[in-house]
Amino acid sequence: MTDVTSAKTARRPHHWRRDLIELAALFTAVAVADAIANLIGHQPDGPFLLVASAVVLAATAAFHTWWARRHSHAPPSDGTPAAPDGTAGGAAGAARGGGAGGIAGAEETALWRMRTTVRDAPGSLAALCLALAGLRVDILTLGTHPLARGTVDEFLLRAPASLQAQELSREIAAAGGTSTWIERADAHDLVDVPTRMLSLATRTALDAAELPLALRQLLGRCTIHSLPAVSVTGRPTGESAPVEGVLEETVMRLRDPSGGVISVERPYLPFTPTEFARARALVELDARLGPRVPRGEDVLTLPEGNEITVRRADHGDLAAARALHDRCSQRTLGLRYHGPVADADRYLDHLLSPRFGRTLAVQTASGKLVALGHLLWDGDETEVALLVEDDWQRRGIGSELLGRLVALAVEAGCDSVYAVTQSRNTGMVAAMRGLGLPLDYQIEEGTLVITARLASDRSRAGGSGRPAAPTEGARR
């Protein structure tokens, strides 16, 4: 945007009077040359004088061309391109240069994502650029979302670190922007929209559990709920949506390919038709590809020498998971499901669905399923849950599963995970403590909620690393 605008600004208006003057000068030069040739040519030394004059003119022209080429690329003395009106730079050029000399190389800067609505009229974007230039803000990317009335402009900005969001919002409002929304950005936002869409489509194609995460990354800070068409008890919930979906200001409802509805809410900023179309495209891709789960697996050796396999689980493991329930004691099932265990099997269809999260399964060398670990998307939060068969407890399986689930949460960009258990479940408490992460405890009527904050772990692991391995004392 800036380079194009600067190029347009640098052009000079073309006038017919200049062409007429140049044509008259050409005819005058030809007449003068003919007169001189006739005058000198009739003298004895006339031909030699003409040749010498031609050589001098050729040398002068060559020197002038060399001199012009050498100095044509020199920067302006003040470092700022001139605008047609004689001012130092245009609106967009000033935004790139930072108005009064640009953002100094040694000055600290910060990245901001900004969205504002402007009138769909010539000059409205230029007014925003001038306002940003006055604050020495650099426009890195710009995207537009056309509306029935007006246009939503989405910017990625590099601004001086001292600039506050309130001051930026105030200047944008004075320049004609309304419904302005500003938040901090990071280096991951330095990606154009087509590249981001291709990346999200690839993630969704490889793993059905990525769809909610892809929608959250596409739409920014929002709350996503997967609402099933049938409840855990088998009763219809009445949740449905048309094939084309529904857009209602700050809420969009999309038909879930696996049944039910995907509800996306963003109360602080209405969705645009462009965002709705992008989200619907991801959901349609998921529907066309059908159920899919990555089939990678890891073989581990327990301290006593037994080998176990850790892999992703889905609806294909439903029968094996029910058999695991049958072998578990009432106490183990009660600690896992926090209530009556007679209906525990009803939860498995929900837990094994990739739409609601990710599930890891542990099986022995004989193929028997002995443990399940769940990472469940719960709106803005993420829950972890474990179930280990009685005969396989206190061998480090629960800690291994928990560490892997937390690593998946870090990769998904979650800020924290929480586990709901009971205060007497010392194994789960020890496993959470063994993660080596900051923990928050909340006890209410015998129910213990342990929350692990992942922000520090993400910065330590570079955004995708696995947390430190649990200690031997944290076996479950």
Question: How confident is the model over 362-401, as pLDDT tens digits?
Answer: 999 888 999 999 998 887 788 999 999 999 998 889 999 9
One domain for residues 304 and 323: yes
Convert the pLDDT of each residue in 323-359 to its tens digit.
Answer: 999 999 888 888 888 766 676 777 888 888 887 888 9
Q: Which helix (H) or strand (E) holds 399?
A: helix 397-411
In this structure, the answer to whether residues 313 and 451 fall within a common structural domain is yes
pLDDT of residue 50: 66
Q: Judge if 285 and 344 occupy the same domain.
A: no
**Most confident residue range from 35-44, 266-275, 288-297:** 266-275
CATH of the domain at 117: 3.30.70.260
Total domain count for the chain?
A: 3
Average pLDDT of the segment spanning 99-119: 72
Does 257 have pLDDT greater than 60?
yes
Higher pLDDT, 91 or 472: 91
Are the CB atoms for 59 and 99 separated by under 8 Å? Answer: no
Which residues in 107-140 are b (16+ Cβ under 10 Å) and which e? eebebbbbbbbbeeeeebbebbbbbbbebbbbbb
Residue 47 in domain: no
Q: SS3 for 42?
A: coil
Q: Is the pLDDT of residue 456 over 90?
A: no
Do residues 268 and 337 both lie within one domain? Answer: no
Q: Tell me, yes or no, whether 155 and 245 share the same domain.
A: no
Q: pLDDT confidence of 42, banded at 50, 70, 90?
A: low
> Is the pLDDT assigned to residue 207 strictly greater than 80?
yes
Which has more pLDDT, 43 or 436?
Answer: 436
Domain shared by 302 and 401, yes or no: yes
Mean pLDDT over 306-327 rounds to: 90
pLDDT value of residue 87: 39
Query: Within a domain: residue 87?
Result: no
Residue at 310 is within a domain: yes
Per-residue pLDDT, averaged over 167-177, amounts to 90
Nearest CA to 386 out of 378, 376, 349, 24 is that of 376
Domain boundary among 234, 262, 289: 289
Q: Which domain holds residue 445?
A: 297-457
pLDDT for position 4: 37
Q: Residues 371, 437: one domain? A: yes
Axis crossing angle, helix 165-174 with helix 124-134, rounded to the nearest 10: 140
- Of residues 193 and 464, more confidence is placed in 193
Residue with the bigger pLDDT between 379 and 100: it is: 379
With a pLDDT cut of 70, the percent of the chain lying above it is 75
Q: Which of 289, 312, 341 finishes a domain?
A: 289
Q: How confident is the model at residue 95 (pLDDT cuts 50, 70, 90)?
A: very low
On average, the pLDDT of the chain sits at 77
What distance lies between CA 214 and its chain's CA centroid?
A: 9
Give me the helices (H) in 1-106, please.
2-10, 16-41, 46-71, 91-97
| Interval 265-285: pLDDT, tens | 987 788 889 889 999 999 999
| pLDDT range class, residue 194, cuts 50, 70, 90 | confident
Pair (333, 443) in one structural domain: yes
Above 90 in pLDDT, residue 403? yes
Whole-angstrom Cα distance, residue 284 to residue 280? 6
pLDDT at residue 85 is higher than 70: no
Q: Is the pLDDT of residue 237 over 70?
A: yes
Encoding tokens for residue 401? Answer: 């599963």
Least confident residue range of 2-16, 122-136, 391-405: 2-16
Which residues contact residue 401 at a Cβ distance below 8 angstroms, ignoring those fewer than 6 apart? 310, 360, 362, 371, 373, 386, 388
Same-domain status, 302 and 252:
no
Share of the chain above pLDDT 90, in %: 18
Residue 204 lies in a domain: yes
Domain check: are 341 and 433 in the same one? yes
**Least confident segment among 23-32, 278-287, 306-315:** 23-32
Q: 200, 141 in Cβ contact below 8 A?
A: no
pLDDT for 10 equals 41
Tell me the pLDDT band of 192, cut-offs 50, 70 and 90: confident
| String of DSSP letters for 104-152 | -TTS-EEEEEEEEEE-SSTTHHHHHHHHHHHTT-EEEEEEEEE-SSSEE
Q: What is the pLDDT of residue 472?
A: 32
Please give the Cα distance from 338 to 447 (Å, whole number): 8
Residue 32: band (very low, low, confident or very high) from pLDDT cuts 50, 70, 90: low
Q: Which CATH number does the domain housing residue 367 bear?
A: 3.40.630.30
Tell me, what's the pLDDT at 280? Answer: 92
Cα diameter, the chain: 127
For residue 102, how many other CB atoms are within 10 A of its CB?
17
pTM equals 0.59
Residue 322 and residue 387: Cα distance in Å, rounded? 12
Mean pLDDT value of segment 195-203: 88
pLDDT score of 145:
87
Please answer whether residues 228 and 237 qualify as being in contact, where contact means their C-beta atoms are separated by less than 8 angstroms.
yes
Nearest-CA neighbor of 335 among 261, 421, 249? 421
Considering the domain boundaries, does residue 156 fall inside one?
yes
Is 345 a domain residue? Answer: yes
Q: Of 143, 158, 189, which residue is a domain's last?
A: 189
Q: Is residue 276 part of a domain?
A: yes
pLDDT computed for residue 46 by the predictor:
65
Type of residue numbered 141: T
Q: Is residue 200 part of a domain?
A: yes
- 198 with 319, same domain? no
Whether residues 369 and 420 fall in one domain: yes
